[in-house]
Amino acid sequence: MGSADQRAIYKFYGIYQNDWVNDFGKFQAGTHYELTREYISDACDTTDYTAASAGTDINIDVEFMYPNHIKRQYSIEGVVEGEFTVACNGGNSTVTQYRVSVWKTNFDTTYEEICTTDWVVVSTSLTWDAGYSVGEEMVYHYRIDQWDHYDLTEYDRIFIKIEIQCTATNTRLMHSNDSDWTDIWVEVPLRLD
C-alpha cells in the first residue's frame, strides 16, 4: 500500500461547553456544541444533554463543530463511524428514526453536507422508572461509506449533525464530558497527503 493510500483516523467526542463559544462559518452566532479530540477536565462547566423540542414534530437537531484547522489541504475518504446515546427523563419515550451527517462550513458562512446515513428507521422504547428516578438509555452505532474523496482546505471546518425523531419531549441526546462513559464519538478517515 502506497503512502497516498494511507489514512489517519481522527476520533472526536461531542460535548457542550457552557463557558466557551465557537463562532466560525455557519456558526456566526456562536455554538457551545463542540467536537474535541480528547475529553476536557471534568471540572469544566459543561451540559450533559440536549432535550427534544416540540414543533411540527418532536425532535432533537444538534450540530457539533470541530473548532480547529486540521491541515491546509486534506480529504475525507473511507468509512465514517461513530455512536451516540439517547435517554429518557421524567417519562417514557420512543425513538422512531435518526440521521447522522458530516458537513463542512467555510469562513464565508457557506456550508455543505459531505456524507450521511440518511434516515434510519428504529422503534426504540425508552422507559422511565419513577421509583428510582432513572431512565433507560440506548446507544446507536452508525457507519457511513464515504469513498468519493471529498477535499477540504484550510478555509473549511467540519461538523457532525445528529437528528432524532421521537415521541416525547423528555427524550435526551446525551453529550456529557465523561471519559468513562462515551456518549458521542465519531471517527473520520482523513487523507492528509
Q: What confidence tier does 101 reach under pLDDT thresholds 50, 70, 90?
A: very high
**pLDDT of 1:** 45
pLDDT higher than threshold 60 for residue 3: no
The residues facing 93 across adjacent strands are: 126
pLDDT higher than threshold 80 for residue 25: yes
pLDDT higher than threshold 80 for residue 119: yes
Q: What confidence tier does 21 reach under pLDDT thresholds 50, 70, 90?
A: very high
Which domains occur in the chain, in start order? Answer: 8-191 (2.60.120)
Query: What pTM was estimated for this model as a whole?
Result: 0.94
Q: What confidence tier does 148 reach under pLDDT thresholds 50, 70, 90?
A: confident
How far apart are the two ends of the chain, measured CA to CA in Å? Answer: 14
pLDDT higher than threshold 80 for residue 2: no
- Calculate mean pLDDT across residues 137-151: 94
Q: Average pLDDT of the chain?
A: 93
pLDDT in tens, 62-98: 999 999 989 889 999 999 999 999 999 999 999 999 9
pLDDT higher than threshold 90 for residue 17: yes
Cell of 1: 500500500
C-beta separation of 10 from 27 below 8 A: no
* Structure-model confidence comparison of residues 149 and 17, the more confident one: 17
C-beta separation of 187 from 61 below 8 A: no
**pLDDT of 193:** 72
C-beta separation of 152 from 69 below 8 A: no
- Calculate mean pLDDT across residues 102-109: 92
CA dihedral 185, 188, 189, 190 (to 10 degrees): -130
**pLDDT of 5:** 63
- pLDDT exceeding 90 applies to what percent of the chain? 82
